Amino acid sequence: MLSFKNNKKPFMAKFKLSTFAMLVVLLLLAMSALPNLYPNQSWLYISAAPHSKIQTPPSTNTLVTFLNEQGLNVAQAYESQATINVLLNEPTKSAQAQAAIKAQYANTQTKIVERATSPSWLQSFGLSPIKLGLDLNGGVLFVLDVDLDKAIDEQLVSAYQQAKSIIIKQKAHGVKALQTQTGFVINTLPNAGDKLTPVIKELQSRFANLAVVTNNNGTVKTAQFSYSEQGRSAFNKEVMSQTLTTLRSRIEELGITEAVTQRQGKQRIRIELPGVQDPTEAKRIIGATASLGFYQLKAVGGQTFNLQTGGTIKLDPVPIFTGEHINNAHAGRDDWSKPLVQLSLDSQGGDAMSAFSKANIGKPMATVYSEYSQNAKGEVVKKSEVINVANIAQHLSSRFSITNMQSPQAAADLALLLRAGSLSAPVTIVHEQTIGPSLGSENISNGLAALMLGMGITLAFMAMWYRRLGLIANVALILNLTSLVGLMSLLPGVVLTLPGIAGLVLTIGMAVDTNVIIFERIKEERRKGRAPYQAIEQGYKQAFSTIFDANITTMITALILYGIGYGPVKGFAITLALGLVTSMFTGVYVSKVLSQSLYLKLGKKSGVSTDA
């Protein structure tokens, strides 16, 4: 007969408190998992194009009739605030419908928008389903190559041009800059005095990674400028970091929130855009390498640029400011309805613009647009042209406009690129893969079928082999899966992929393994003659260190996979790591509370023996 007379009240108070805390955690995780029962729907939003002469799209009935005739059956359609909202019977055909509407109605714009279907009370808590990866939701994969060698060459050319400008600015007579294959040199003629040192100091202040080797051969001094291996490494690191930041900003500007952007290898970047059914716009914006600079005209010692309207012009090689100082940019129209881009500068750019415009009222300032492209030989070349030359009519500050844009679309694209930032190195899309939403849906079905099959076999085995304790393990296993799904839905940045579903299956196996270790220890304690409740207490206590060590080693592996992997490998690592956390919680703590509760209740009645 079991006895619970000694220290019963303190024990029961502690037991109830821990049970309450456990229930609160399980309830919160179950709530965050609920939205996954209500998958998002892909809706079509059709409205008039921003710069179209037609202010309203076609009527709802006309649009529905057109889509039905194309075999794209409409499930629901209504108009709201000059926008027609359409849901197809097969949402996976939304991209096909978007293309058909664009071809038929040129003056409309169509967007594919994911809308939540979960109850409003769940949405009020900010809860949403797990973000699905590329292989489950469909979408586009880009692999971009960053031309670091070209970026180095461009940096050296810029340093050479600025060296010539510094020499003229400092009036360093007898000092001359000459280009070489590896960089450039600055020579001083005999009797020129010590005019080289100030030039070197100012140049190094502008280009921190530029190495200089000086040579004093009698009356002639020479400074050789190039990039050392260490300088190249530091420069490449800066370029890759800046490129990643800029690409992420561009993706955010496109309204894609579940994108994965990460470095792959030495000079490649992998971009996954789940849910993107039309990759055309994303490809145009992501692959663009446009940059903008504002220059002063300089007839003597200037750098030659091509005018967009034809001809050439000489400008100071050192810009007044560049696109990196632009805080915001919006496309608009001037008083004559011509497209323009309105700019807002940061404090540094605003100060530079204020100082320059104040000293040059009535004088011209040029806007230079630069873009990398591939020529007929496949070589990456930089094309720079002056898109605007305008006289400064008044003292400008941090807000002004670029006029004479070619088209509204060109103005909108330039504004987007300026908001997101320009790229300091040319990027080339070397691999592009589009995964249709129907294939993603098939992957989900197959993955869930494998998950359910594995879980069903596991539940049946545990129930038959361990009987009463097996039922407790099965409850803990279901709570583990619920907690894991809830945790993945709750944490930002977690994306479920097809290998992630494999991680879910593996998590189930590891959770069962935890219970098997514990139950075998309980059996050993029962064979020693211990009472059921004492056997449970000792079984969990003795098994904990073994379970903890096994999970720690697996966690280390998961963290390494997450750190060095990408794409599917990273998705598997995330699911595995989170699964280890929930397995420890449900397999050790929750199942222990359930076991103690069961045998505590039975122990109050009589000294029953366990059938474990």
For 52-110, how does the pLDDT look when each residue is reduced to its tens digit (9 = 90+)? 555 566 888 888 888 888 888 888 888 887 888 888 888 777 777 887 887 888 778 78
Highest average pLDDT, of 13-22, 247-256, 451-460, comes from 451-460
Q: For 160-206, write each residue's pLDDT tens digit.
A: 888 887 888 787 777 888 888 888 888 887 666 677 788 888 888 87
Place of tokens 């139950």: 519
Question: Residue 611 has what pLDDT?
Answer: 43
Going along the chain from its start, the domains and CATH numbers come out as 8-37+436-605 (1.20.1640.10), 41-115 (3.30.70.1510), 149-231 (3.30.70), 288-433 (3.30.1360.200)
**pLDDT (0 to 100) of residue 373:** 65
Q: Greater confidence, 498 or 11?
A: 498
Token pair for 600 = 């505590």
Dump pLDDT digits (tens) for 563-577.
Answer: 877 767 888 888 899
Alpha carbon distances (Å) from 399 to 297, 342, 349, 351, 432: 21, 7, 10, 11, 39
Residue 139, pLDDT > 50, answer yes
pTM over 0.85: no
Q: Which amino acid is at 142?
A: F
For residue 541, count other CB atoms closer than 10 A to its CB. Answer: 13
Q: Where are the beta strands (DSSP E) in 239-377?
A: 260-264, 268-274, 291-296, 303-307, 312-315, 321-322, 326-333, 339-345, 364-374
Q: Cβ(149)–Cβ(441) under 8 Å?
A: no
Query: For residue 429, what pLDDT is reported?
Result: 81
